[in-house]
Chains A and B, each alone.
Chain A
């Protein structure tokens, strides 16, 4: 009992440290960027702000994926679609903020529409001149898509690899759709050349720092919400559905609703990540829908450790930092490294960095407990995520299972 309490506290402490760190970074980095002179040793250069800000958005995306994959066993290969939709919603707002400063100087129509000879704004662009409307759409559009998609998929009890494949098909279909010029989202080139956000120049250092801070706060909020969800009774149910879906059904729960909620929340989180990402990189194009992107998100989560809240964040930061380094130094080897990472993680690090750490700590404590007199011999409690590995470890040699 004592050990358990310690563990619970340990896990919670980690969450609060993470949130504290993120909030600290949200305050500190902008200050170090703006207030300090560039020659100061503590000055954070602007490109760093932009780069790390981008990583934070990726981390939020990875966290969103973790909620469904790590805790509910839904391996979505289409989370990039929700991210991109959120990004497009924000991009549409930014496009309309350009006003008559575009190349063609049309006060209403974005440049690409003028170029395509469109005479008026399509209906789905209405309202995007208002920030609040865009913010609602950033959450509503991915959420709605996830809800509709999940409604159909979970209800018909599509699971496992089948589900993964149709999520991939979903993002692929969107990729094809957004490539079309007549969809009205800028086709191939996407949306770019942004000028202002809420009246501030998107290129300005201060604005960039502010968006950075917003990303860090959003991530902190994401961590808190995920933590709250996981620790509620619903969170336990989520894990129960992951481990024994049909059992939950026979005690009266509806796994499809359980999954649907998590999937929708996760999509909204991904959408917010996308919306914060777009002003920082200054462009959103259909390439974001590419299935390869969505699968890359999976590896961030896996590297950090799925089924842990901090893991995906660590994973997203690590892998993306690695990517930036590689593409700078050995660009032609990046794909080898990424491919190798996929293989190595699944083979040697199935719990990810954080999961591995937890596992080591648990075995270490267990040993220490075993060395103590039997009075302390309460069975070593393990964190939920460790169970899975134990089960698969005790389950004997792995064995293929024919497709169902």
Chain B
């Protein structure tokens, strides 16, 4: 496999915790501009894979390349985020004592050192960006509400908004529709498809309707490695996938 043209390239990645292999010889390639859905039973290693890509967990072995050239295993979380990999956590985490607006402001792309932050003044451009994003994530009327007071679904969206504010090249989105109503789920799918027009995206989700809605290539993980890959129909027809995940 060639790394050129890929946004994310994982080859032979393994990691174990106290002897338990959470990721086992995992190989996965994402092309630039591609959106990929990842499914798999609980404990399949989906979140752990994201931990590896974002530098939170160091793999025991294997190659992890970003943009075909950057070895991610040599960088830490902040570096990787600055390179343009954004991540939404499985459990939504926003800055609870900040307003929605400030949450976005802190995530906006820009220098990340202390002194500029100390003397920072909000520019008109930033205000516009924040307004845009607020529009996209439909939280315009909540801009002064504290993160802590948002509902679960609103927190999910705010987190996606924070991702957008970073303007990353690759978005890792872990279970974005958990705890959402059907209508909200559809909204989110539409939103992600929008985003995918200009970004590379990996979405982890258990909700099959949502995955179908996205209509993209699907990878099914099981026990830390790829079980099956292809269109949703292809994957869900795969006997092994049915066996371990979907059920008959």
Interface residues of A (CB under 8 A from B): 1, 4, 229, 232-234, 236-237, 239-240, 243-244, 246-254, 257-258, 261, 378-379, 381-382, 384-385, 387-388, 390-391
- A266 CA to B77 CA, complexed, in Å: 27
Q: Are B99 and A251 in contact (CB under 8 A)?
A: no
Report A347 CB to chain B, min CB distance, Å: 23
- A351 CA to B40 CA, complexed, in Å: 45
- A369 CA to B199 CA, complexed, in Å: 44
- Chain B contacts for A251, CB-based, 8 A: 81, 86, 106-107, 162, 166
Supplied contacts A240-B106, A246-B93, A387-B147, 18 more A-B pairs, CB within 8 Å: A1-B144, A229-B118, A232-B118, A237-B106, A239-B98, A243-B97, A247-B94, A249-B77, A250-B81, A251-B106, A251-B166, A253-B78, A379-B142, A381-B99, A381-B145, A381-B146, A382-B146, A390-B149
**Which residues from 61 to 112 on chain B have a C-beta closer than 8 Å to any C-beta of chain A?**
76-78, 81-82, 86-87, 89, 93-99, 102, 105-107, 112
- A1 CA to B101 CA, complexed, in Å: 12
- A327 CA to B166 CA, complexed, in Å: 57
- A224 CA to B171 CA, complexed, in Å: 40
Answer whether residue B114 sits at the interface, using C-beta atoms and an 8 A cutoff.
yes
- Chain A contacts for B144, CB-based, 8 A: 1, 4, 378-379, 381
Q: Are A387 and B113 in contact (CB under 8 A)?
A: no
- CB-defined A-B contacts under 8 Å, sample of 17: A232-B119, A240-B95, A240-B106, A243-B97, A244-B95, A246-B56, A246-B93, A247-B94, A250-B86, A250-B87, A251-B162, A261-B118, A378-B144, A379-B144, A379-B145, A387-B146, A391-B148
**With A250-B77, A251-B86 given, is the CB distance from A236 to B146 under 8 Å?**
no
Answer whether residue B120 sits at the interface, using C-beta atoms and an 8 A cutoff.
yes
- Chain B contacts for A4, CB-based, 8 A: 144
Chain B interface extent, by class:
35 or more
- A326 CA to B113 CA, complexed, in Å: 48
- A384 CA to B146 CA, complexed, in Å: 8
Q: Are A379 and B97 in contact (CB under 8 A)?
A: no
- Chain B contacts for A240, CB-based, 8 A: 95, 98, 106
Report A160 CB to chain B, min CB distance, Å: 18
Answer whether residue B156 sits at the interface, using C-beta atoms and an 8 A cutoff.
no
Report A306 CB to chain B, min CB distance, Å: 13
Answer whether residue B24 sits at the interface, using C-beta atoms and an 8 A cutoff.
no
Q: Are B120 and A258 in contact (CB under 8 A)?
A: no
Contact with A along B125-146 (1 / 0, CB 8 A): 0000000000000000010111
- A385 CA to B97 CA, complexed, in Å: 7
- Chain B contacts for A384, CB-based, 8 A: 97-98, 146
- Chain A contacts for B76, CB-based, 8 A: 249
Q: Are A254 and B78 in contact (CB under 8 A)?
A: yes
- A236 CA to B97 CA, complexed, in Å: 9
- Chain A contacts for B147, CB-based, 8 A: 387
- A257 CA to B93 CA, complexed, in Å: 21
Answer whether residue B117 sits at the interface, using C-beta atoms and an 8 A cutoff.
yes
Q: Are A233 and B117 in contact (CB under 8 A)?
A: yes
- A384 CA to B97 CA, complexed, in Å: 5
- Chain A contacts for B81, CB-based, 8 A: 249-252
Q: Are A252 and B112 in contact (CB under 8 A)?
A: yes
Answer whether residue B54 sits at the interface, using C-beta atoms and an 8 A cutoff.
yes
A3, closest chain B residue (CB): B144
**With A232-B120, A234-B117, A254-B78 given, is the CB distance from A244 to B96 under 8 Å?**
yes
- A153 CA to B16 CA, complexed, in Å: 27
Interface residues of B (CB under 8 A from A): 54, 56, 76-78, 81-82, 86-87, 89, 93-99, 102, 105-107, 112-114, 117-120, 142, 144-149, 162, 166
Q: Are B78 and A237 in contact (CB under 8 A)?
A: no
- A379 CA to B120 CA, complexed, in Å: 28
Q: Are A244 and B93 in contact (CB under 8 A)?
A: yes
- Chain B contacts for A232, CB-based, 8 A: 117-120
- A258 CA to B117 CA, complexed, in Å: 10
**With A236-B105, A248-B106, A379-B149 given, is the CB distance from A253 to B142 under 8 Å?**
no
- Chain B contacts for A243, CB-based, 8 A: 95-97
Q: Are B77 and A236 in contact (CB under 8 A)?
A: no
Report A388 CB to chain B, min CB distance, Å: 6
- Chain B contacts for A234, CB-based, 8 A: 114, 117-118, 120
Shortest 10 CB-CB contacts between residues of A and residues of B: A387-B97, A252-B81, A233-B120, A234-B117, A384-B97, A249-B77, A234-B118, A240-B95, A252-B82, A387-B148
- A12 CA to B115 CA, complexed, in Å: 23
**With A251-B86, A251-B106, A385-B97 given, is the CB distance from A261 to B114 under 8 Å?**
yes
- A309 CA to B56 CA, complexed, in Å: 35
B107, closest chain A residue (CB): A251
- A332 CA to B94 CA, complexed, in Å: 49
- Chain A contacts for B148, CB-based, 8 A: 387, 390-391
Report A201 CB to chain B, min CB distance, Å: 41
- Chain A contacts for B162, CB-based, 8 A: 251
- Chain A contacts for B112, CB-based, 8 A: 252-254
A390, closest chain B residue (CB): B148
**With A1-B144, A249-B81, A250-B81 given, is the CB distance from A233 to B93 under 8 Å?**
no
A1, closest chain B residue (CB): B144
A253, closest chain B residue (CB): B112
Report A288 CB to chain B, min CB distance, Å: 30
Selected from A237, A247, A253, A387, the residue in CB contact (under 8 A) with B93 is A247
Q: Which of B78, B99, B120 has the most CB of A within 10 A?
A: B78
- A239 CA to B206 CA, complexed, in Å: 33
A239, closest chain B residue (CB): B97
- Chain B contacts for A233, CB-based, 8 A: 105-106, 117-118, 120
- Chain B contacts for A253, CB-based, 8 A: 78, 106, 112
- A232 CA to B89 CA, complexed, in Å: 27
- A257 CA to B144 CA, complexed, in Å: 28
